[in-house]
Structures are given as structure tokens and as C-alpha cells.
């Protein structure tokens, strides 16, 4: 996805695009640095083709868009975290997101439905009736940065321990300004806007590149006790805009030493309900070492869940789900539940991910496709033994663009459990690049692929 007042220009492209369209009405309402977009349902009218990656883009242009080449500014976008299968649809959304102002002027607004196929191109569009006058105060031009993880603070004399595990930059095109983490005390709990109170401590943090993640920001800083009237503690993440620091994210604390989970550890798109939100999740409470945060939603709804902090456990239910940790490193565990699921692991050498398929009395077939599988990763299929299931291996199966080595565990009268590891084949099993073995832990059998 592309962010922040990006000039959109293109020639006509000879890409093969899917027959994907908007169905319904669109609208937007901009206020300051944010815009609320009403994005209609997206439908794939093809009977046999799966779309590429999709996103809805709000474009401002000096003349009405009539198709063809683009000549305008992307001021906001909604990325869809899943491709759209033949005949499929994605429910309509109303989302409030960052507004990236174009240069001063008068603009026509269009909502574009774009598809990626060796480049972005427009599948469909809706021209919106409003003519918008943009002034220099329309947006702050800053990258959307936020805390992630479990945070806390603990004063001791003239110093304070600030625990900030992660800072994330959600923009894929914009480097942040200089960053600052500050501990403030205010008379009442901080909500938004300019902060009025007493800054007791602050530490500088380096600028973050697009899609950047700063880990282990925790430090000890000099501390000055606040005046008696300022009793509400708040930790702020601030970005420098060239003139002053602007609060981009904050966490209020009930008391010193209290651990508080940041609000944006996961992005959850409920495709069934048509909602999109950043959520905190919970602190991880299971037995796997190195995991810190979890988002568990056992629901029949189809979910797209992305981690915004490393060391996450994500577990979904009976929907057609997409779980994604590709933007973070660390140790992660992904469990898509039943049905057909798409599990996207991390890409770097510091990412060590485990993909679960649970074949212990499932109520329906399971088929999980795994992307970005690499050395240090593993897949565990729970409940499978050579005695209770027939294990078969096949090449070239799975979703279009993500085919690979596929294992099927079948048993008479029972649902089938399958896993596809994209980019691999039975030759990798024969050569030892991949290995598969059976094991048992606490009475539970499993098949382990690594």
C-alpha cells in the first residue's frame, strides 16, 4: 500500500486484471488530519480467477477522473489484507484513517478500486459529488506511528524506568520525523490534541523508515516529580513536524508500575461484519516461550488479522481467515482454526514462526496455506499419527500464486486436515531441505514439519 499525499500518475497498463467492482454507494468526510470513508462492497464477478492484492484509494484530482491514466493525489487508502476468490465479495466498510493533504487548491474526489498485478492499476472507480478546497492546515503530514506491546513506567528517586517494547510506523512510503517518548502528568486524563501538563521525563528515539519497527525502546531516564495538582500519568509518542512535537499515540496509566497493553497491537478486519479496527489483544498466557501478546477470536466470521508487534499468538475460528505476521519479526504462532486459511509468516532471519493445524476432533475440513516459510519456521499438525490417518503428499496444490508442497491427513468418516507450504515440493522432503516427523507431548500426538 502507498501512503501520504502521493502523486498518482500512470500510463495505460497492459495488465490482466480481474473483473472486480464496487457495488453500492461511497462517501467521505474529512476533518483535520483524519478522513472517514464509506467504502462499498467489493465483488469479484469472475467465475474462475482470483484477484491480486486490492486496495480502495481516495484520490483528489484537479479535474474529474474519467478512467484511464491517473493524475491526482492519494490522500487516504484502505488496504484489503486478502485476495478475492472467484465470485467472492468483501463487505462494505466505514473507516476513519489518516488524511494526507495535497497542495493547496480545489479538487474533485474519486474512490478507486485498485488491483496489484506487476503494478497497481484501476479496476473500478466512483466519482464523488463534493468539490473540496484544501488549505495548508488540512493535514499534519506526519507518519502514523504508534506504541505496540506491554508498556509501563516506574519512578525511583531522580530516575524512571520506561518500558516500551515496540514502536511501529504504519506508512509504507513515509519516514517519520524525529521521535520522542515522554512521561507527562496532567490534571485530568489526556484524551487528544495539545497536551497541557508537566513533562517529568523524555527520551529520544530514532526516525523510523516506512513500515519500520523499533524494538526494545525501554530505557532509564532522568525524572522530575510533578507538581501536586498533576496526578494523571500518560506516556506519549511524539513526532517532530519541523516546528514542534506532535502527540501521535498515548497510554494513560492508573498507577506507577502498572503494565498497560498498547491499543494497536493487532489490526483486525472482520470481513463478515464489515468492520476494521486496531485492537490491543491480550498479554499471552500460554506455555510457548518468547510469546508476549495474543489475539484469540473463535468465531464463524471470516477475519483478516495482522500483528503490529513481534512475539504474537494469533488464533481464529471457523471462518475463511488470513493471519499475517509478515510486518514483524520475533517468535510468532499462527492457528487459523477450521475451514480454509491463509497464514503469512515473517520474512527475515530474525523471524521464527510456527503454524498450527489442529486435527483433534475438528467439525469441518481444514486447509491452511502457509507463505514465507523459511529456515527456523515449523508447522505442527496436532492429533495426527500414522495409525489414525493416511498421510499423503502432493506438489503444486494450493491457492493461485501460493501453490506448493501439500500434506493431506485423511481418515474414513472424518474431516480432512491439509496444509500447503508455498514454494516447496516433495523434492525438498527427499533432499532434507524439509523434514517431517511424528511426536507426542503430554499425550497429544502431532506431525512436525520443519
pLDDT at 282: 92
Domain membership of residue 107 (yes or no) is yes
**CA-to-CA separations, 435 to 383, 391, 424, 427, 448, in angstroms, rounded:** 18, 14, 12, 11, 8
Question: What is the percentage of the chain residues whose pLDDT exceeds 70?
Answer: 93
Task: Tell me which residue of 112, 105, 110 sits closest to 130, measured CA to CA.
Answer: 110
Total number of domains constituting the chain:
3
Strand partners, 332: 353
Domain membership of residue 207 (yes or no) is yes
Domain membership of residue 204 (yes or no) is yes
Is residue 5 pLDDT above 50, yes or no? no
Domain membership of residue 1 (yes or no) is no
Is residue 15 pLDDT above 60, yes or no? no
Task: Tell me which residue of 365, 371, 310, 408 sits closest to 83, measured CA to CA.
Answer: 371
Tell me, yes or no, whether 151 and 199 share the same domain. Answer: yes
User: Contact, 381 vs 446, CB < 8 A?
Assistant: yes
Tell me, yes or no, whether 294 and 387 share the same domain. Answer: yes
Cβ neighbours of residue 28 under 8 Å, at least 6 residues apart?
35, 36, 37, 38, 58, 76, 109, 111, 128, 130
pLDDT confidence tier of residue 372, bands split at 50, 70 and 90: very high
pLDDT at 141: 60
Q: Which residue has the cell 489475539?
A: 295
Which CATH number is 94's domain given?
2.60.40
Is residue 366 pLDDT above 90, yes or no? yes
Tell me, yes or no, whether 217 and 286 share the same domain. Answer: no
pLDDT confidence tier of residue 131, bands split at 50, 70 and 90: low
Q: What does the mean pLDDT of the chain come to? A: 87
Tell me, yes or no, whether 166 and 275 share the same domain. Answer: no
Q: What is the 3-state secondary structure (H, E, C) of 59-77?
A: EEECCCCCCCCCEEEEEEE
User: Contact, 265 vs 282, CB < 8 A?
Assistant: no
Tell me, yes or no, whether 281 and 411 share the same domain. Answer: yes
Average pLDDT over residues 13-34: 78
Is residue 125 pLDDT above 80, yes or no? yes
Domain membership of residue 394 (yes or no) is yes
End position of a domain, from candidates 81, 113, 134:
134
Confidence (pTM)? 0.68
pLDDT at 4: 39
pLDDT at 274: 77
Q: Cβ atoms within 10 A of the Cβ of 24, count?
A: 13
Tell me, yes or no, whether 401 and 319 share the same domain. Answer: yes
Domain membership of residue 139 (yes or no) is no
Tell me, yes or no, whether 228 and 171 share the same domain. Answer: yes
Domain membership of residue 140 (yes or no) is no
> What does the pLDDT look like over 252-302, one tens digit per residue?
999 888 888 888 899 888 888 877 788 899 999 888 999 999 999 999 999
Tell me, yes or no, whether 176 and 197 share the same domain. Answer: yes
Higher pLDDT, 11 or 152: 152
**HSE toward the beta carbon, residue 389, CA cutoff 13 A:** 24
End position of a domain, from candidates 261, 282, 314:
261
Tell me, yes or no, whether 194 and 319 share the same domain. Answer: no
433: left (phi over 0), alpha (psi -120 to 50) or beta: alpha
Average pLDDT over residues 300-312: 91
End position of a domain, from candidates 236, 261, 286:
261
Length of the chain: 450
Tell me, yes or no, whether 438 and 304 share the same domain. Answer: yes
> What does the pLDDT look like over 202-229, one tens digit per residue?
999 888 988 888 887 889 999 999 999 9
pLDDT at 132: 67
Tell me, yes or no, whether 10 and 117 share the same domain. Answer: yes
In the three-class reduction of DSSP (H, G, I as helix; E, B as strand; rest coil), residue 431 is classed as: helix
Q: Is 52 exposed, middle or buried (0-12, 13-18, 19+ CB in 10 A)?
A: buried
pLDDT confidence tier of residue 345, bands split at 50, 70 and 90: very high
Is residue 1 pLDDT above 50, yes or no? no
Strand partners, 71: 9
Cell (9 digits) for 405: 508442497
DSSP label at 191? -
Tell me, yes or no, whether 65 and 211 share the same domain. Answer: no
> What does the pLDDT look like over 138-162, one tens digit per residue?
445 677 788 988 899 999 999 999 9
Which of 83-92, 99-108, 166-175, 378-387 holds the top average pLDDT?
A: 378-387
Range of the domain at 254: 145-261
Domain membership of residue 120 (yes or no) is yes
Task: State the virtual CA torsion across 286, 290, 292, 297 in degrees, nearest 10.
Answer: -50
Amino acid at each position: 500500500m502507498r501512503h501520504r499525499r502521493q502523486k498518482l500518475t500512470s500510463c495505460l497498463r497492459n495488465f490482466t486484471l480481474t473483473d472486480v467492482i464496487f457495488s453500492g454507494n461511497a462517501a467521505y468526510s474529512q476533518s483535520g488530519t483524519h478522513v472517514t470513508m464509506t467504502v462499498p462492497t467489493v465483488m469479484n464477478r469472475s467465475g474462475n480467477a482470483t484477484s491480486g492484492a486490492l486496495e480502495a484509494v481516495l484520490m483528489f484530482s484537479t479535474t474529474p477522473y474519467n478512467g484511464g491514466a491517473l493524475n491526482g493525489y492519494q490522500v487516504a487508502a484502505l488496504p484489503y489484507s486478502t485476495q478475492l476468490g472467484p465470485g467472492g465479495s468483501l463487505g462494505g466498510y466505514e473507516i476513519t484513517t489518516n488524511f494526507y493533504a495535497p497542495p493547496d487548491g480545489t479538487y474533485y474526489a474519486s474512490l478507486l478500486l485498485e488491483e496489484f498485478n506487476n503494478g497497481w492499476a484501476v479496476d473500478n472507480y466512483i466519482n464523488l459529488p463534493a468539490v473540496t478546497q484544501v488549505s495548508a492546515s488540512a493535514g499534519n503530514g506526519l507518519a502514523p506511528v504508534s506504541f505496540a506491546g506491554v508498556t509501563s513506567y516506574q519512578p525511583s528517586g531522580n530516575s524512571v524506568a520506561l518500558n516500551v517494547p515496540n514502536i511501529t510506523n504504519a506508512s509504507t512510503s513515509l519516514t517519520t520525523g524525529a521521535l520522542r517518548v515522554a512521561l507527562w502528568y496532567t490534571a485530568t486524563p489526556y484524551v487528544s490534541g495539545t497536551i497541557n501538563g508537566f513533562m517529568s521525563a523524555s527520551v529520544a528515539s530514532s526516525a523510523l523508515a516506512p513500515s519500520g519497527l523499533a524494538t526494545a525502546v525501554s530505557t532509564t531516564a532522568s525524572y522530575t516529580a510533578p507538581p501536586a495538582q498533576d496526578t494523571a500519568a500518560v506516556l506519549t509518542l511524539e513526532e517532530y513536524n519541523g516546528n514542534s512535537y506532535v502527540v501521535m499515540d498515548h497510554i494513560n496509566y492508573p498507577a506507577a508500575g502498572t503494565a498497560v497493553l498498547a491499543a494497536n497491537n493487532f489490526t483486525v478486519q472482520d470481513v463478515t461484519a464489515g468492520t476494521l479496527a486496531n485492537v490491543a489483544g491480550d498479554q499471552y498466557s500460554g506455555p510457548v516461550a518468547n510469546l508476549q501478546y495474543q489475539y484469540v477470536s473463535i468465531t464463524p466470521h471470516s477475519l483478516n488479522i495482522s500483528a503490529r508487534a513481534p512475539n504474537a499468538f494469533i488464533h481464529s475460528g471457523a471462518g475463511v481467515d488470513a493471519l499475517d505476521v509478515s510486518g514483524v519479526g520475533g517468535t510468532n504462532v499462527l492457528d487459523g482454526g477450521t475451514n480454509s486459511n491463509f497464514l503469512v509468516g515473517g520474512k527475515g532471519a530474525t523471524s521464527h514462526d510456527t503454524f498450527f493445524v489442529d486435527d483433534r476432533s475438528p467439525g469441518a475440513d481444514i486447509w491452511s496455506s502457509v507463505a514465507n516459510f523459511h529456515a527456523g519456521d515449523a508447522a505442527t499438525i496436532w492429533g495426527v499419527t500414522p495409525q489414525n490417518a493416511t498421510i499423503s503428499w502432493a506438489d503444486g496444490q494450493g491457492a493461485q500464486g501460493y501453490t506448493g508442497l501439500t500434506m493431506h491427513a485423511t481418515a474414513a468418516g472424518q474431516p480432512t486436515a491439509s496444509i500447503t507450504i508455498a514454494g516447496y515440493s516433495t523434492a525438498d522432503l527427499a533432499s532434507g531441505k524439509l523434514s517431517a516427523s511424528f511426536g507426542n507431548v503430554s499425550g497429544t500426538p502431532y506431525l512436525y514439519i520443519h
